[in-house]
Structure 1
Amino acid sequence: MRKLTIAGFAMAAALTAGCATTDEGAIDDANATASSAEQTADNALNTANSANSAASSAQETANEALAAAKAAQKSADEANERAKRMLERASQK
């Protein structure tokens, strides 16, 4: 009976050790997955920051182009106004 009890304890210890090993493996897998997910999130954040920087640069370029277009429109309006006055004076002569 005593031998059976000792064998039972030994078997229980072996089974417990096997479960612990399995659980440890699952924990290692979960940690690896979490680490990979964290790296993916870091990469996504870096990509988003790069995209934001590019968008800001594009916005600045668009604002500069708009300012240049407004200046060109103003110059064209002034030139048209001068030409109109010249034509009016020419027609009065």
Structure 2
Amino acid sequence: MVVIAGKDKGKQGTILAVKADRVKVEGINIVTKHQKPNQMLGKEGGIVKQEAFLHISNVAIYNANTQKADRIAYQVNAEGKKERIYRSTGEVVATA
């Protein structure tokens, strides 16, 4: 994924979590949290840096062939299955 808006614009990372209309991207939108110690969970207190959620409209899929952010379209192949394609090149998106 590529961030297309905000303070981390242009940076790339992989999606860690999805929550409603927001995504958490690895190494992007780092925030500082002041965490209290918790004996029940065995966590120490202190200042912790972690990724925060971004709105899904601020990220786009990365097209390795064009080296840019790209949009996705859907088309039905010859076998009748729906597949995702890149809008700019028309190539099928590889699924992980």
TM-score by length of 1: 0.16
TM-score by length of 2: 0.16
- Considering Cα pairs closer than 8 Å and 6+ residues apart, tell me whether 1 or 2 has the greater RCO: 2
The structure richer in strand per residue is: 2
- Computing the radius of gyration from Cα coordinates, the structure with the larger value is 1
